[in-house]
Amino acid sequence: MTLDRVVWTMLQEARGIYQDSPRATAWLRAQAERYAEPVRIAVAGRSHIGKTTVVNALIGDEFTPQSSFVWYRGGTGPRAHVFSGPSRPHEVAIGRRGARHHVETGQFDRADRIVVEWPARTLRDVVLIDTPSDASPEQVLGDADAVLYLMRHVQDDDLRFLQSAHDHPIARTAAVHTVAVLARADEIGGGRIDALSSAKQIARRYRRDAAVQPLCQNVVSVAGLLAVAARTLREDEFQALRALASLGREELEDHLLSADRFAGERFPLPMDPAVRQALLERFGIFGVRLVTALVRQGFDSQVKLTGQLVQRSGLGELRDSIAVHFTERREVLKARSALLALDVLLRMEPRQAARKLVADLERVVASAHDFRELRLVAAVQSGRTKLPAELQTEALRLVGAEGTAPAVRLGFEYEADQRELREALLDALVRWQAQAADVHASHDHRRAAQVVVRTCEGLLPQFP
Amino acid sequence: MAPPWLDVLDETIGACVTHRRPDLEARLREKRAQQLDPKLRVLVVGESKQGKSQLVNALLNAPVCAVGDDVTTTVPTYVQHAETPSAALVRNASANGSIFHTPTERIAVPIEQVTRQASAQSQHVVRAEIGIPRALLDNGLVLIDTPGVGDTRSAHTAGTFATLIQADAVLLVSDATGELTTAEMALLKKVMEACPNVTVVVTKIDLVPSWRAVVERNRALLARAGVPAKLIPVSSALRLRAAKTGDQRLNTESGFPELLACVQRDIVASADLLARRAVAVVASSAITQLVTPLREELTAHDSSHTSATISTLQEAQRRVDELRRRSARWQNVLNDEMADLISDVEYDLRDRTRRILREVEKTYDEADPAIGWEKFEQWLEDNLNEAATTNFAWLMERAEWVAAKVARNFPVYREDLIPGSVLPDDLLEPASKLEKPKIEPFSVPQKVFTGLRGSYGGVLMFGLVTSLAGMPLINVISLGAGALFGGKSIMDESDQRLKRRQAAAKAAAQRHVDDFFVKASKDVRDSGRQIQRSLRNHFSTLAEELQETLMESARSAKRAVQDDQTERERRMREGRKELDKLVTLYKRVQALGGPTMELSA
């Protein structure tokens, strides 16, 4: 039985056992609903780090920031509900503030959460949760299956947050749910034109950093402002930017030295200061520099520019990361959340009848192959298990550190046919069986090889 | 003439010595040495990636400190005046310890490579020193660029705090992309404790359109926290560009003229004021630390010193109670065990003797006691002795076990807890001699007589019958019958005698064994009771000794508590005097012009 079936059965069993407890029943019902939902991703980080900006960039629409948890989920039409206290949710209107959408929470300014249904493609596969910066790690992690953690540079506070996500023993056995994001990548490079590639390099360094690596699956850099602007670029803005780009390079550079200069009086173009101010707010001084440079380089249509900006801002990479680490691993993430929830319930309300469930829970956590794969990934990445370099890369790939699709696991970068995949798989299987039986290798080495062999065996039925 | 603050500082150092706080003393001495040094150290601190190194570069209009997008500065970098540009790394032989008092070595390096080399060997390098000819640094100003605070590599942070104590003034750098974070406010407070001359520099205002709002919010934050620090917004990028192009207007826009003026006016020109303020802060923090434990001791009546003796007293009393409670237990154990023991041993003895008796009976069902009685007697004696010995050995063994068990239930463990010999020396007196059963021998005349008596009846019986047939009374037939009858009577008689002898032998054995049993069981009981008594004596002696010891320690603890009372009063008086002295000193420190902190006597 696959992991998600097993966990689903356990949830049902628990519902049978706890029939008489209304609290437990409500809890389990919520978990069962959550089990069927898309992956919930919380966007967390310090204040003013750009959480709402990243959420907006992912959705492709701009919403004003709120002071409570905001859930964005897919829907046929735009609707918003406010959940406050034990009372029933209130439907509220979604209005506009300038170019942004605004949820008219009105009197519910301290709502528990606001749920926005929004027709966006991104929201088909995920539910995004924008968190307030004063939320504790428990609050953030309680409802989410996965976390995008935003930071500038990895600082002690940030590491503490990420560590607290691993406090629970079940969470530790399946450390699978965090992608760290170096937000404000444009500022990391001091606003220089190459700031974004510099930020990417830093992200790469953190990916290999021993303190960061075990705490998250990936580190990517994103220039949030630019990403939002790319997704919501308007015609008038594009025209204004084109007009700017038409200025001489030297002259423009001079006026792009500082935000004050750009928005100031002595601007060579007959352009309304309000327009320039708006551009600054939307793109930032770095954004204006980059966009004008890009337009000059030949990305002079809105479509070309948008594509280029999505790529450069790191949004593309962020989306890929979400796909590889969260959406593709939906079953594992959901199973993990459900197991955590079951564990909470079994400990809060211990019962004689639930003894079997406790044992099942332990068994699943200890033996589910998906979790074993994840543990191996964590062990190899943190350096607890050491493999020779080339084997390590292959092992990580095969157990799905880079993606769980068979072709990705087998390291094909092109569309390979069934026969090729099967041969590559058999090849890998034989090689790793040899590794697993290698008497000269260390114990850890052989254990790791056994996990890889099991993964290969599991893939085999897909290629008859 | 020594400046007035020097006296106060020296007195504070003296106070630290009297109160045995070498840590504070070392800190103050460092401060003293540094204040006497004509150099003015301006520390540039802040979280990582706020633009600290760039600020130093922009202040000097020279790329002396390396800047980079990733964490760049790993050791404090001292930038000071020199006729020709030069650079050096200062390495530390022993890794831990204060920067001042450990032997260091200087390695000259090319100025362009100083940061790179420092990062490469940051394990050993204490600081980098750069000399550069600049008018700003002319009058002894030293700019210290520090590694970012709060970085994951905590060694950086430690380095920053180590330099903090040497600072005359601090520039706290925070960039304009966000207002001061809680971590930065905490850092600011920490800095204020060591050095009150803090200026908050908001950098990167060229990047942020709304930097004015950020500056306003920061001002509000500082005001709310009650931090009297100046706040200056600057842009290093604009300043460096202005230096390159010689654009005065840009220079003004960068905000640096104001910062430089501030540095000149507030830091360089008022070095003495700074010194006084810095000394006041450090000294008052030291005095506060001295006063706190003193006051705690004065206020808390059950302070640490007496609480120890009181807890000793309580412990002693607790142990006395414990001993009483547990002595009942060991007595019970002893009584129960001994009763069990005696009944068990008696039963064992009975069992053994009965087995012997059964053996005897079996033997004399067959054998004739007349033959080999001596041998039998010997056998019986041996068997009974063996039974008694085994039984007694068992008694001893069980008695020792009981002693051990009682010892286990005894409240404390001692070497001599289990008595060496509590067992009676000799309990096996030989039991009464076995009395030989009466044996009736069957002698020849008796046999003849019995034979004749039997044959008489036979002769007469058959003689009468045959006389009817006309034969004489004594004839062949009657004589034959007489002989037959005589033989049978002899046989019968000897059989009966054997039975009688056997019965007598059995009875004699029975009696003997009974006697033996009565005697032996009496002995067993006696020795059991004797053992019990000696064990009881042994253990109660021990318990009494123990109780006496505990009582004594309880009494001495009580005395200690009472003694403490007077001792404490004396200490209180002394403490109050000390406290008064410190408070006076504190007031003098305050008069130097430090920030006002509350310190009530």
3-state SS string over B84-138? CCEEEEEEECCCCCCCCCCCEEEEECCHHHHHHHHHHCCCCEEEEEEEECCHHHC
Q: Which residues of chain A have pLDDT under 70?
A: 1, 108-109, 169-176, 382-383
pLDDT at B194: 76
Does residue B584 carry a pLDDT above 80? yes
**B206 to A157: CB separation less than 8 angstroms, yes or no:** no
Name the percent of chain B lying above pLDDT 90: 2
pLDDT at A126: 93
Alpha-carbon gap, residue A420 to A413, rounded angstroms: 12
pLDDT at A40: 93
**Residue A214 touches partner B, C-beta closer than 8 Å:** no
**Residue A157 touches partner B, C-beta closer than 8 Å:** yes
H or E segment to which residue B292 belongs: helix B271-299
Measured between beta carbons, the chain B residues lying within 8 angstroms of A184 are 177
**Residue B346 touches partner A, C-beta closer than 8 Å:** no
Q: Please name the residue of chain B whose CA is at the shortest distance from the CA of residue A277.
A: B209
Tokens of B322: 């414990």
Q: Please name the residue of chain B whose CA is at the shortest distance from the CA of residue A49.
A: B178
Three-state SS annotation for chain A: CCHHHHHHHHHHHHHHHCCCCHHHHHHHHHHHHHHHCCEEEEEEECCCCCHHHHHHHHHCCCECCCCCEEEEEECCCCEEEEECCCCCCEEECEEEECCEEEECCCCCCCCCEEEEEECCCHHHCEEEEECCCCCCHHHHHHHCCEEEEEECCCEHHHHHHHHHCCCCHHHHHCCCCEEEEECCHHHHCCCCCCHHHHHHHHHHHHHHCCCCHHHCCEEEECCHHHHHHHHCCCHHHHHHHHHHHCCCHHHHHHHCCCHHHHHCCCCCCCCCHHHHHHHHHHHHHHHHHHHHHHHHHCCCCHHHHHHHHHHHCCHHHHHHHHHHHHHCCHHHHHHHHHHHHHHHHHHHCCCCCCHHHHHHHHHHHHHCHHHHHHHHHHHHHHCCCCCCHHHHHHHHHHCCCCCCCHHHHCCCCCCCCHHHHHHHHHHHHHHHHHHHCCCCCCHHHHHHHHHHHHHHHHHHHHCC
Does residue B254 carry a pLDDT above 50? yes
DSSP B268: I
Count the neighbouring beta carbons within 10 Å of the beta carbon of residue A215.
23
**Residue B69 touches partner A, C-beta closer than 8 Å:** yes
Q: Please name the residue of chain A whose CA is at the shortest distance from the CA of residue B236.
A: A190
Which neighbouring-strand residues pair with A179?
A148, A218
pLDDT at B99: 46
pLDDT at B420: 57
Per residue in B216-246, pLDDT (tens digit) is 999 999 999 888 888 999 998 888 888 888 8
| CB-nearest partner of A190 from B47, B237, B241 | B237
Alpha-carbon gap, residue B574 to B576, rounded angstroms: 5
Contact A123, A56 (CB under 8 A): no
pLDDT at B94: 54
Measured between beta carbons, the chain A residues lying within 8 angstroms of B151 are 153, 155-156
The position carrying tokens 């029975």 is B510
Q: Rounded mean pLDDT of B495-519? A: 86
Structural domain boundaries in chain B: 4-293, 318-587
pLDDT at B122: 63
What dihedral do alpha carbons B349, B355, B357, B362 form, nearest 10°? 180
**Residue B49 touches partner A, C-beta closer than 8 Å:** yes
CATH architecture of residue range(s) B4-293: 3-Layer(aba) Sandwich (3.40)
Q: Which of A159, A209, A257 to mutate to test the interface with B (most CBs of B within 10 A)?
A: A257
Answer left, alpha or beta for residue B349, where phi above 0 means left and psi between -120 and 50 means alpha: alpha
Mean pLDDT of chain B: 79
Mean pLDDT of chain A: 86
Does residue B23 carry a pLDDT above 70? yes
Distance from CA of A169 to the nearest CA of B (A): 24
Distance from CA of A234 to the nearest CA of B (A): 21
| CB-nearest partner of A155 from B51, B150, B253 | B150
In the stretch 48-67 of chain A, residues with CB closer than 8 A to chain B read: 48
| Terminal-to-terminal C-alpha distance of chain A | 20
Say whether B479 sits in a helix, a strand or coil: helix
Does residue B309 carry a pLDDT above 70? no
| Domains assigned to chain A | 34-225+315-331 (3.40.50.300), 234-301 (no CATH), 335-462 (no CATH)
Alpha-carbon gap, residue B458 to A142, rounded angstroms: 125
**B48 to A259: CB separation less than 8 angstroms, yes or no:** no
Residue B377 backbone phi and psi in degrees, to 5: -55, -45
**B49 to A153: CB separation less than 8 angstroms, yes or no:** yes
Alpha-carbon gap, residue A189 to B85, rounded angstroms: 29
Residue A433 backbone phi and psi in degrees, to 5: -65, -40
Alpha-carbon gap, residue B62 to B379, rounded angstroms: 121
Q: Sorting pLDDT into bands at 50, 70 and 90, what band is B466?
A: confident
**CA angle, corner A73, sides to A68 and A78, nearest 5?**
90
Higher pLDDT, A126 or B181: A126
Does residue B600 carry a pLDDT above 60? no
**B206 to A260: CB separation less than 8 angstroms, yes or no:** yes
Alpha-carbon gap, residue B581 to B14, rounded angstroms: 12
Per residue in A310-369, pLDDT (tens digit) is 999 999 999 988 988 888 888 888 988 898 888 888 888 888 888 888 888 888 887 788
pLDDT at B601: 35
| CB-nearest partner of B69 from A46, A154, A199 | A199
**A284 to B204: CB separation less than 8 angstroms, yes or no:** no
**B69 to A47: CB separation less than 8 angstroms, yes or no:** no
| CB-nearest partner of A154 from B67, B152, B179 | B152
Which neighbouring-strand residues pair with B408?
none
**Residue B253 touches partner A, C-beta closer than 8 Å:** yes
**Residue B252 touches partner A, C-beta closer than 8 Å:** no
Does residue B185 carry a pLDDT above 70? yes
**CA angle, corner A347, sides to A346 and A353, nearest 5?**
40
**B207 to A188: CB separation less than 8 angstroms, yes or no:** no
